[in-house]
Amino acid sequence: MSSRRFARVAAVGATLSLTTATVAYAAGPGSAGIGDPYYPTYGNGGYDVSHYALDITYVPAGTTIKGKATITATATQDLTSFNLDLLLSASAVTVNGKTASFRKSDPHELVVTPASVIRKGATMTITVAYSGQPRGISYGGVPSPWIGSGTEALALGEPEIAAWWYPSNDHPRDKATYDMTFRVPTGLEAIGNGTLVSKTTSGTTDVWKWSMPQPMATYLAFMAIGQYSVAKGTSGGRPYLVAIAQKAGAGMAAAAKADLMKTPSIINWEASQFGPYPFDTVGGVVPSMSFGYALETQSRPVYTPDFWAGGSNLFVVVHENAHQWFGDAVSVHNWKDIWLNEGFATFAEYLYAEHAGVATTNELLAQNYQQYAATDTWFWGVRLTDPGKHNEFDGAVYDRGAMTLAALRNRLGAPTVSKILKTWVANRKGGDGTVVQFEALAAQISGQDLSGFFQHWLVDRTKPAKTAENGLTGLPTVATRSAIAAADQITANARMLASRQHR
């Protein structure tokens, strides 16, 4: 090669190298959404949160929040700016101790511009001072998920709630640990997730501090303000905390407390089915307000008292605590993957009915298969792999979702399905998963081609044929009274739980 040609090639190579370097280090804004097709503005790109430290002052007059959030995150690209999801009003923002500029590009999006570029891989500490009245804020056709006002209020909802009371990367893909400080007027309880670190009084203010050291999705963080009777202790070596509103109806409150005090034993049974319990504490919260559903808030579900209008209802306690594995420890990758949460938690109710000697899973499967006719297109017409935006909590996602797993158990056998569920949690605890990934794991562990099975149960919009491939042979032909009663109770719970979406 001539020296002139070599020089020309070298020059071209230098240009290519410079171009590559320029591309590699080109800084820009993080995206305004994380990429969920149902909710384009939910979550954000360009960073990953590891910890939230929330300091919330709740003022009953006006149902007002005054907060300071300290967010620890790692940049996943070179960032000139990034978004936080927040519907309240920010008054000051810093990044790494330096004042940052901020603006609202949309009521839901707080755009933060740090004083200097944040390099990929760098840790950033963001503080946001903010305030507002979450109860009166709606967004994108969604009324506020905030519940109650004055001296009894709840920050509770799914798929949205976080943006109504703290700034965050609001999507289950970005989970983080939490420390939460709640400041309320003396005499009010302020219940949150995880372990109660301390409760102190300063003048006319009670200060409650909670800690959740395991990763948690943003919508699973909650704050319950009110006057509660709190029972706490240790059962089976695990701390529990059960809070029942003092104003809750006496009959419902007594039934709810009796059932929630059995949570530790239910958790121990579920651990035998799904693997080790993923968190440190257990329990439950029952406000006096009727809001129509329950939510699997991490380590301590919150229930409307209506679940106990007819007396004991252990099935709903089983359902919400099964979510500690399916939904909390392992979250959805996109909201369309919701079958992995609701179908699995409802299937846990089937398993518990069998454990309690009330009905076998095959009896419940047979009862529901017979109950829903092929002409019930409202039930069979929902595609469980993609139920549609605003339709994630359709009753079919619960009932047909549970039937899918019961049919899989009938086809593969209980030990194989138990191994699939335990492996799913063990492999993905602290993260997320998709329906496609679960299908692949089931095929891998069973050694069977399950593509037809999942196609018929999850994708097709018709009633699955009664075949061995679909796990529908060898079922009981006549349901017992107790099986019918259990199926009815589980379905009734599903209908109430499906009302959680505020549309």
By C-alpha distance, which of 211, 226, 193 is closest to 295? Answer: 193
Neighbours of 481 (CB within 10 A): 8
Is 450:443 a contact under the CB 8 Å cutoff?
Answer: yes
pTM summary value: 0.93
> Given this model, what pLDDT does residue 7 score?
39
In angstroms, the CA 34 to CA 260 distance is: 36
Q: What is the pLDDT at residue 500?
A: 61
pLDDT at 237 (0 to 100): 86
Q: Are 118 and 79 in contact (CB under 8 A)?
A: yes
What is the spatial distance between Cα 65 and Cα 63, in angstroms, rounded to a whole number? 7
What pLDDT sits at residue 354? 96
User: What is the per-residue pLDDT for 22?
Assistant: 39
- Which amino acid makes up residue 314? L
Which pLDDT score, from 0 to 100, does residue 20 have? 37
Q: pLDDT tens, position by position, for the chain (503 residues)? A: 433 333 333 443 444 343 433 344 589 999 999 999 999 999 999 999 999 999 999 999 999 999 999 999 999 999 999 999 999 999 999 999 999 999 999 999 999 999 999 999 999 999 999 999 999 999 988 899 999 999 999 999 999 999 999 999 999 999 999 999 999 999 999 999 999 999 999 999 999 999 999 999 999 999 999 999 999 999 988 999 999 999 988 889 999 999 999 999 999 999 999 999 999 999 999 999 999 999 999 999 999 999 999 999 999 999 999 999 999 999 999 999 999 999 999 999 999 999 999 999 999 999 999 999 999 999 999 999 999 998 999 999 999 999 999 999 999 999 999 999 999 999 999 999 999 999 999 999 999 999 999 999 999 999 999 999 999 999 998 778 888 898 889 898 888 888 765 43
Q: What is the pLDDT of residue 25?
A: 55
pLDDT value at residue 9:
37
For residues 440 and 41, what is the distance between their CA atoms, to the nearest angstrom? 30
The encoded tokens of residue 133 equal 């009245």
Under 8 Å CB-to-CB from 82, ≥6 apart: which residues? 29, 30, 44, 45, 46, 47, 111, 112, 118
Q: What domains does the chain contain, in order, with CATH numbers? A: 27-226 (2.60.40.1730), 331-500 (1.10.390.10)
DSSP 8-state secondary structure symbol assigned to residue 394: -
pLDDT of residue 8: 38
